Amino acid sequence: MVTLGETDSRVKYRKQSEERDHLPEETEMFEITDFTTASDWERFIARLEDAIHDWKLPRSLPETTFLKDSFVTGKWKECNSDITDVPDFEYLIKRLYLPAAYAETLEAAIPATRSDPPRLSSLSKTCFSVNEFPALFEQMLSMENDFPNSATLHPLCRWFGLADFLVITASPFNQIDWQVKEDRIKLIQSSMVIAVANTKCPIPMFLQFGELSRLMFVGVSEVAGFRTLYEIIDLERVPDRMKTLSGLVEIFKDKISQRAEEATQLIKTSIQLTLELNPDEVDFEGLSDELIEDRKPDGLGCLPFGPSEFDSFVLRLLASWPNANADAIEDTLLHSDLDPLQAPKWAVQLNLNEGSSYRLSDTLMNFAKQVHKKETVQSYLEFLERDIADANAGDQATAVLNRLTGEGDERLRSRLSKALYSRLPTFHLPVPIDAESLNEILAYLFPDSELAKDEQRVFPAFSERSESAFKTIKGAPINSLPFRLALTIQFVFDNYGGLLGVAYLWHEILLELRYRWENGHLVPGVEAGMPNHGSCLLNQKLQMLNCCIAKREAGRVAAAASNDALAPVHSKSPVYYDGVDADVTDDDDEEDDEFFDCVTDDSGSLPGEAQGPVAQKPLKPEGRKELLGTLTLLRDTGMPLYVPITQESAPMTEDMAQEHLERMVATDDDEDGRAARMRMQSVALVSDMSAFKAANPGCVFEDFVRWHSPRDWEVDSAGGEGHLSERMSQAGSAWIEAWDSAEPKSVRKQKRLFDECVEAEKVLSYLTLTIGGVFRHALPMLLQAGLTKLFDEMDATEISPPCEKGAVLKSVSRLLSDTNFSWLEYEKLIKLVRLTEQIISTHRTLESVAKKTRDLPDRDGFRSFLRTMVEARQLTAIPGGARSPLGQCLAAIFDQRNQRSSSREGSPPIGTGMDEKGLKKRCLPAPSLKEFILRTVAPRPYQFSRPGVHRMYTSIRSGEVRIAGAFTEDLMYG
């Protein structure tokens, strides 16, 4: 209520106050920080400590020293644990350690391996007593495993000499990033220090950060009141100060806070220089033909062997100075005492380059990779043929056949590709194989053709291997057509357009096979007879095609002879032609290509088939081949028993036999199914029975058994009449049922068991493969050729190869016998082939280098050493260094002047000067790698601190320097 005398402003203020009174009261918000809850990094530290406790790591390392070269020969163990407590990132902590089985106690090691061990040497004898010296410091000062030569060894072992350590890395399951960023290094390093201090773990702990390929680490360890920090630097440009030992000693002294004028501690150093001999830097002019032959490109009918380039290996010479006084060696930019020829220890190692390309193994691998291609051959030919999308496939086939079988061309396709060349458009891609090369290829594949006679060229052939195990491989005979075909496909694939060239070649081969079928020319280089199921399917199909050609040609010859002699078809000639009646004359050879069903005539009909009461005529014998000894019919003893002319069993390839078996298995188990299976199994038996009845009218089942299965006709010992065996005389026997169902028909009146026309078309249709199918069918023969080439090279070399022939052949046999091709097994096989090829080629190249070297003191002994070195492929010490005969041979090999060709013949020998010690002066290459290890025991961080162990490893390469330092500081008096 507004009273009189109140101003407008007071009224307005009052209203605003009343509105504020009706508003809800504001609540005050307080931020509460609970310092009792662990942070992310505290949980990370706790997880580190849990891992140390879970692995039951000791609080003190055992008083042991590891044996010499145990870092390389020992079997390292590893255990892992995940750390997922840090948000958005996962870590993996793992422990790598060498078991104590590769170490021995210090008391046992002192008299056995070292007369002056590091912990009692001048480095530390005034600093620690025997019982106080930590085992971790012993590892850092030990020289037993300096410069371990192993590519698989963890780099921390090489840089710091540690045999037990922990490494924290980024987990491979991180989805955001896979490397530890540098902004987290300080946090993780501080966490490591806290975890090591809390658990009193004496084992060093490292963190890997940055890109994995850079191998960057930081680490920490605490033991006996000392903290050792591990640091690594990696520079792409080498400063002048870091190129020499003198500069590295200055850096080492600066790091341990020891000024030059106050330096009283002795610094020990171990030095190793690595000299490399690369075969690609050697001039092989004028060397043996054997090495040059490996460098030639492979030709038709050959397989390549050896490296693609001369970079397959590196021969390394390691010159070392172990446990030397750093101040006693002068190594500056102006002068250096580090001459490899004066090094007290020499060692040599052969390192095979895993990234090198080897032609035989690469050929086998690249060939097998094409097996899974799904494109058809015709799809590749679309690039070459005009209007193929609108053309009718049948019209094309007819046109091709007309060109191939035209009048006046009776030769075996002297120019097989004219038809296809005539149809090539001018605006399409050129054909991958030119006419001259195609003629050469076809002459190699079909040596019986006129084309091959025109070429008059002798092609290389593979040697016949005597190993019986080769017979277990489902391939094809060596130098057969399938064998040559595989080599040709490989040759065209590598030299004539890859898959397009192979498709073009396969099209030409199919044209040739069809031409031979139509004109009755056998396919050369294929085994005669039935398809061999022990060979590959391609070989079986070609055998089947030859069976069809031979069968039809035999029919044509028999028909021509029959017409000339006007003899009946059922004569005693052992050759029959199916489906042609005796009264039918063969006026045109083309009519024989057609399929004829059996022809019946009145003279050959059975009496039982006549209807009504017409009198039955006696059967007229047909299809007799020869007498069966002196046997006569059982019911008509005066009638001799004749062997009938029977149909040959139908040849079947492996896939046809498998299909026949599947049809039999697919039948039901009821009576109808069993009858169907019996009919499928007894087709050939019924045919033989029909022919037997036709040749022997009036015969009985017992007569047939006496001819077809003599074992089932048993004769009494008393000389009485014989009788059927038990299995033949059983009621309901399948043989008796087949006998009852068989009608007396000679083979010319029977339905043919084998129709060569149908089967030949099936073969040609089957060979219309996809491009992957072409490679798949040729792969077994290419493997055969590859192994034959490999075994020939193994026999020609003096070294022992890393594989046994029998084991390789068993692996190939198992690989090709499996229905499902195992790519993993094939890769294992190719790796073994590659290793063998690599070793043989390396030994041959080293032999050539030794042959090129002019002044080897002991050539025969050095050749024996090369053979041993290639076989072992391990670091080999050279007793006596450069002064030994073997060392002098190595110095001559590494002499750069010996690996250069002289400008002209008759030039004076170089490198024959003598030094003051009577040794020949050598011009060795500059070291490709310099490695230094500096060790000392000195107080840090102050002069009054307890002395700790310090170690610094340095490697210097061309354009790179890496320094790994372990510097210890005293926590008690620091």
Q: What are phi and psi of 693, to 5 degrees?
A: -65, -40
Query: Cβ(830)–Cβ(783) under 8 Å?
Result: no
Residue-level pLDDT at 369: 93
Q: Dump pLDDT digits (tens) for 308-338.
A: 887 788 899 999 999 899 989 999 999 999 9
Which segments of 55-134 does DSSP mark as H helices, in order? 70-73, 106-113
Distance CA 745, CA 576 (A): 14
Q: CA of 149: how far to CAs of 21, 156, 182, 259, 309, in Å? A: 87, 13, 31, 35, 26
Q: Which amino acid is present at 43?
A: R
Pairing of strands 103-105, 64-66: antiparallel
Burial of 566 (0-12, 13-18, 19+ CB in 10 A): exposed
Any residues with CB less than 8 A from the CB of 90 and at least 6 apart, and which? 82, 83, 84, 170, 171, 173, 174
What are the φ and ψ backbone dihedral angles of 799, each rounded to 5 degrees? Answer: -90, 165
Do the beta carbons of residue 310 and residue 280 sit within 8 Å? yes
Query: In this structure, how many other beta carbons lie within 10 angstroms of the beta carbon of residue 641?
Result: 21
CB 577 within 8 A of CB 555: yes
CB atoms within 10 A of CB 806: 11
Contacts of 965 (CB under 8 A, 6+ apart): 230, 231, 232, 252, 255, 950, 951, 952, 953
- Alpha carbon separation from 167 to 19, 51, 97, 207 (Å, rounded): 68, 12, 11, 6
CA dihedral 512, 517, 523, 526 (to 10 degrees): 120
- Tell me the C-alpha to C-alpha distance, in Å, between residue 193 and each of 180, 206, 951: 18, 10, 20
Confidence of residue 30 (pLDDT cuts 50, 70, 90): low
How far, CA to CA in Å, does 692 sit from each of 405, 643, 749, 909, 971? 42, 7, 13, 92, 110
> Does residue 701 register a pLDDT over 80?
yes
Q: How far apart are CA 953 and CA 159, in angstroms?
A: 6
Mean per-residue pLDDT for 590-619?
A: 40
Strands 345-352 and 960-970: unpaired
Which pLDDT tens digit goes with each residue over 853-864?
777 777 888 888
According to the model, what pLDDT value does residue 307 have?
87
The Cα-based distances of 476 to 369, 490, 531, 777, 831 in angstroms read 21, 16, 11, 11, 24
Over residues 13-31, the mean pLDDT reads 56
User: What is the spatial distance between Cα 768 and Cα 503, in angstroms, rounded to a whole number?
Assistant: 11
Tell me which residue of 136, 156, 195 sits closest to 76, measured CA to CA: 156
Q: Of 39-48, 298-307, 498-507, 921-930, give the range with the top mean pLDDT.
A: 498-507
Can you give the pLDDT at residue 511?
93
Position 383 scores a pLDDT of: 67
User: With contact defined as beta carbons under 8 Å apart, do 525 and 484 qualify?
Assistant: yes
* Interval 6-33 mean pLDDT: 56
Residues 6+ apart with CB under 8 A from 907: none
Q: Between β-strands 205-209 and 164-170, what pairing exists: parallel, antiparallel or unpaired? A: parallel
Give the pLDDT confidence score for residue 967 in this predicted structure.
95
What is the structure's pLDDT at 95? 92
C-alpha span between 282 and 310 (Å, rounded): 9
Tokens of 814: 């198992």
- Confidence at residue 661, expressed as pLDDT on a 0 to 100 scale: 72
pLDDT mean over 498-525 = 92
Question: What's the CA gap between 668 and 759, in Å, rounded?
Answer: 28
Residues 6+ apart with CB under 8 A from 830: 361, 364, 365, 368
| Greatest CA separation for the chain | 167
**Helix 683-695 vs helix 671-681: angle between axes, to the nearest 10 degrees?**
60
Q: How, if at all, do strands 216-223 and 226-235 pair?
A: antiparallel
pLDDT tens per residue across span 67-106: 788 888 888 999 888 877 666 667 889 999 988 755 665 4
**Is residue 99 a contact partner of residue 77, using CB atoms and an 8 Å limit?**
yes
Q: For residue 513, what is the enclosing H or E element? A: helix 499-519
Residues near 505 by beta carbon (within 8 Å), at least 6 away in sequence: 433, 438, 441, 488, 489, 492, 496
d(CA 844, CA 867): 10
| CB within 8 Å of 107: residues ≥ 6 apart | none
Distance of alpha carbon 433 from alpha carbon 97, whole angstroms = 61
What average pLDDT does range 177-185 have in this prediction? 71
pLDDT, one tens digit per residue, over 546-586 is: 999 998 888 888 777 766 654 444 433 333 333 333 333 33
Residue with token string 């020609």: 796
CA distances from 632 to 696, 702, 717 (A): 10, 11, 20
- Which DSSP letter does residue 965 get? E
* Parallel, antiparallel or unpaired: strands 929-939 and 205-209: unpaired
Q: What is the mean pLDDT of residues 502-506?
A: 93
- What is the average pLDDT across 212-221? 91
Determine the pLDDT at residue 722: 82
Which long-range contacts (C-beta less than 8 Å, at least 24 apart) are formed by 256-259? 256/936, 256/938, 256/940, 256/950, 256/967, 257/940, 257/941, 258/938
pLDDT > 90 fraction of the chain, expressed in percent and rounded: 27
> Which phi and psi angles does 14 have, rounded to 5°?
-65, -45
Calculate mean pLDDT across residues 462-474.
Answer: 72
CB 824 within 8 A of CB 260: no
**What mean pLDDT comes out for the span 650-678?**
72
Q: What whole-number distance in Å separates Cα of residue 965 and Cα of residue 819?
A: 58
DSSP secondary structure code for residue 769 in this structure = -
**Do 834 and 352 touch, CB atoms closer than 8 A?**
no
pLDDT at 417 over 50: no
Query: How much is the mean pLDDT over the chain?
Result: 77
> Are the C-beta atoms of 952 and 140 separated by less than 8 Å?
no
The tokens for 536 are 């590959």
Rounded to whole angstroms, the Cα distance separating 685 from 290 reads 61
Q: What is the DSSP letter of 539?
A: H
Decide if pLDDT at 869 tops 70: yes
pLDDT value at 221 more than 90: yes
Q: What is the pLDDT of residues 706-762, one digit of tens each?
A: 898 888 888 876 666 788 888 888 777 788 888 888 889 888 888 888 888 999 999
* Lowest pLDDT segment from 263-277, 548-562, 606-620, 909-923: 606-620
Domain range summary for the chain, segments of one domain joined by + = 40-224, 362-528+768-796, 602-607+617-750
Contacts of 411 (CB under 8 A, 6+ apart): 449, 450
pLDDT tens by residue, 951-965: 999 999 988 999 999
Q: pLDDT value at position 881?
A: 87
**pLDDT band for position 14 (cuts 50, 70, 90):** low
Give the pLDDT confidence score for residue 407 in this predicted structure: 42
For residue 426, is pLDDT > 50? no
The answer to whether residue 657 scores a pLDDT higher than 50 is: yes
DSSP annotation of 406 reads -
| Beta pairing class for 77-83 and 103-105 | unpaired
Return the number of other C-beta atoms located less than 10 Å from residue 589's C-beta: 11
- Beta partners for 235? 961
Q: At what angle do helices 185-199 and 40-54 cross, to 10 degrees?
A: 40
Task: Report the C-alpha gap between 43 and 34 in whole angstroms.
Answer: 15
Report the distance separating Cα 886 and Cα 663, nearest Å. Answer: 73
Instruction: Tell me which H or E stretch contains 272.
Output: strand 268-277
Residues 928 and 275 sit within 8 Å (Cβ to Cβ): yes
